[in-house]
Amino acid sequence: MNQPRTTGGHPDLSYLDLGPRSAEAVVLLHSLGADGRMWREQAAVLSQRRRVLVPDSRGHGASGWDERVPADGEWPSAWAGDLDRVLDDAQVGRAALVGVSLGGIQAIAYASSRPERVSGVVVADGFTELEPAVTEARIAALAGQAREQGMAALADSYVADTFTRTPPPDGAEDVRKAIAGMDADRYAAVCAGCFGVRITDRLAAVRAPALVLWGERDAKTPRPLSERIAAGIRGAELRTVPEAGHLSNLENPAEFTRLVEGFLDRIGGS
């Protein structure tokens, strides 16, 4: 991958800008704790015919942080504003969004609030809200582990619990390094924003064509959560990524990329 660009402003946001500038744009949005490196394989393939932007979300990778942490319920707007800044900096007026896990939440938040800037949406292994008890348990467990045991230990635990292949796929090491390199307090704050999200009511406002993907071995976000997303977006298609867990783009990259490329071709994103 080439050298990242930075938006400037606060927080400064880092992103890769790949592929032909004259082509339709695609934005790849990573999962909680990871960064743009998790999209290596998809970015390499998609950028052959498309312009591909790969941002690091605030607090992740090479992107900065705003100490004024969004309050409960404000994270979706903050993420949408960040994506506005990336698109503006790249001088991209409209793009398709592909997000996995947290990235899928961000894609829904943006597509529902900025329909004029979104040509299509792919949401993989995502959710729009969790049961309150599940939310509290996940935040307490992950934030507590980050602060008490450190990010390196949390990264090792995450990789062991998330990937369903033995040995894990090559991209697992990128995820481990990204999580281990995060600040614990920042991770805890984003963790609360991610698992505390409540945006099911925004699904009806997504006007762009949508593809919902679910890894058939994903125990972290069970299939009913993806079914809820597909049911809430008019005309959305739900497809299963075989032999893949929660980070389905890493565990079965060939099939994940094939499904995404087929969708982008159908909506005219080539």
Task: Record the pTM.
Answer: 0.97
Residue 237: CB partners within 8 Å, gap ≥ 6? Answer: 210, 211, 212, 230, 263
Q: Is residue 87 part of a domain?
A: yes
Q: Is residue 27 part of a domain?
A: yes
Q: Is residue 10 part of a domain?
A: yes
192-222 confidence digits (pLDDT tens): 999 999 999 999 999 999 999 999 999 999 9
Measure the CA–CA gap between 41 and 39, rounded to whole angstroms: 6
The whole-chain average pLDDT of the chain stands at 96
Task: Answer yes or no: are the C-beta atoms of 122 and 97 closer than 8 Å.
Answer: yes
**Residue length, the chain?**
270
Please report, as a single letter, which amino acid is at residue 149: Q
pLDDT > 60? residue 269: no
Task: Write the CATH number for 58.
Answer: 3.40.50.1820
pLDDT > 80? residue 133: yes
Q: What percent of the chain has pLDDT over 70?
A: 99
230-248 confidence digits (pLDDT tens): 999 999 999 999 999 999 9
By CB atoms closer than 10 A (0-12, 13-18, 19+), residue 187 is buried
If one counts the domains in the chain, the total is 1
Q: Is residue 165 part of a domain?
A: no
- CA dist 22 to 18, 202, 208, Å? 11, 31, 21
Q: Is residue 250 part of a domain?
A: yes
* pLDDT on residue 2: 77
Q: Is residue 154 part of a domain?
A: no
Measure the CA–CA gap between 174 and 48, rounded to whole angstroms: 23
Of 86, 80, 88, the residue nearest 205 (C-alpha): 80
Q: Is residue 108 part of a domain?
A: yes
Q: Is residue 111 part of a domain?
A: yes
Range of the domain at 50: 5-128+199-266
Scanning the structure block, which residue is given the tokens 């369903």? 164
